[in-house]
């Protein structure tokens, strides 16, 4: 539990400092450190990240770093997609969801390595159709595997919404709050949540968010982002190795066990 809470601090710091990355940390922490099942870990992470991002969004709002108009359009469509993704998760095996989550981690790490320095805010009117499409896609991905939030939303808000980076980070936290709760509601239809564990992790993560938001505009996050990208890449490799090994084992053990059972039945019939 001490390890889980220590790691939870970094969930909040990532959200407050970078505008994303909370779920990338939360799901592995809950699955492999806290020992939850895959779907339970994803559902719990949605509640934790939603609440933690909400605290960060309030702090950014006080600094004027939230664009309510564009954020509202993105949030509404993302909530629809997230709820659908949360419901759709019922039809996937836990291992499949974790492998999809690992694929999302790989995508996130690539986006982090690329950074945001070359992104230039878009000029002219906001293409509402693109914002709606992006919101639905990102929302569904978040709802399904519990990831795909800030590091996809921030570039979209900069490139499509014409926002400066710091304002995009604040708006991203607002969107993440709403779509995480929406996806969480979708998961509640088929998953039970340990609210005591969620409360402890959320409380520590909120402290991390306050710390991350405080230093977000005072430090250059380039080195931190690259270091975090390497960490995310390593975590993705760990998850893939862990879950793929289970699939490989199942693909060998299940057919072998089935064949042995079949031969046993045949031998008994012959006897």
Rounded Cα gap, residues 117 and 165, in angstroms? 9
In a domain, 260, yes or no: no
In a domain, 252, yes or no: no
Instruction: State the total domains in the chain.
Output: 1
Return the percent helix, strand and coil in the chain, to nearest 5: 80, 0, 20
In a domain, 134, yes or no: yes
- Expressed as residue numbers, the domain containing 168 is 2-246
Q: What is the pLDDT of residue 200?
A: 92
In a domain, 218, yes or no: yes
In a domain, 131, yes or no: yes
In a domain, 268, yes or no: no
Whether the predicted model's global pTM rises above the 0.85 cut: no
Measured over the CA atoms of residue 66, residue 164, residue 211 and residue 47, the dihedral's sign is: positive
Q: Do 101 and 145 contact (CB within 8 A), yes or no?
A: yes
Q: Which residues of the chain have pLDDT under 70?
A: 18-21, 111-112, 114-127, 147-152, 159-162, 216-225, 227-228, 245-271
Residue where the block lists tokens 């014409």: 162
Q: What angle do CA 236, 210, 19 make, to 5 degrees?
A: 45
Q: What is the pLDDT of residue 250?
A: 43
In a domain, 175, yes or no: yes
Over residues 169-202, the pLDDT tens digits come to 888 888 888 888 988 988 888 888 999 999 999 8
In a domain, 229, yes or no: yes
Q: What is the pLDDT of residue 24?
A: 75
């Amino acid at each position: 539990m001490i390890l889980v809470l220590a790691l939870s601090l970094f969930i909040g710091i990532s959200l407050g400092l970078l505008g994303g990355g909370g779920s990338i940390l939360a799901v592995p922490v809950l699955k492999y450190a806290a020992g939850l099942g895959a779907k339970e870990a994803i559902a719990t992470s949605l509640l934790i990240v939603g609440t933690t991002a909400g605290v960060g969004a309030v702090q950014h709002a006080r600094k004027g770093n939230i664009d309510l108009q564009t954020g509202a359009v993105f949030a509404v469509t993302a909530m629809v997609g997230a709820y659908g993704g949360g419901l759709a998760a019922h039809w996937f095996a836990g291992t499949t969801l974790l492998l999809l989550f690992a694929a999302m981690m790989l995508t996130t790490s690539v986006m982090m390595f690329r950074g945001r320095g070359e992104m230039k805010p878009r000029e002219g009117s906001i293409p509402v159709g693109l914002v709606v499409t992006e919101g639905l896609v990102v929302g569904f991905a978040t709802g399904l595997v519990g990831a795909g939030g800030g590091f996809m939303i921030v570039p979209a808000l900069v490139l499509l919404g014409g926002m400066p980076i710091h304002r995009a980070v604040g708006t991203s936290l607002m969107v993440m709050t709403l779509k995480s709760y929406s996806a969480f509601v979708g998961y509640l239809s088929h998953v039970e949540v340990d609210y005591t564990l969620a409360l402890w992790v959320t409380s520590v993560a909120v402290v991390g968010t306050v710390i991350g938001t405080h230093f977000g505009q005072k430090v250059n996050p380039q080195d931190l982002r690259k270091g975090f990208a390497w960490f995310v890449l390593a975590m993705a490799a760990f998850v893939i190795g862990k879950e793929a090994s289970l699939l490989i084992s199942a693909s060998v053990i299940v057919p072998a066990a089935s064949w042995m059972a079949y031969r046993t039945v045949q031998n008994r019939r012959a006897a």
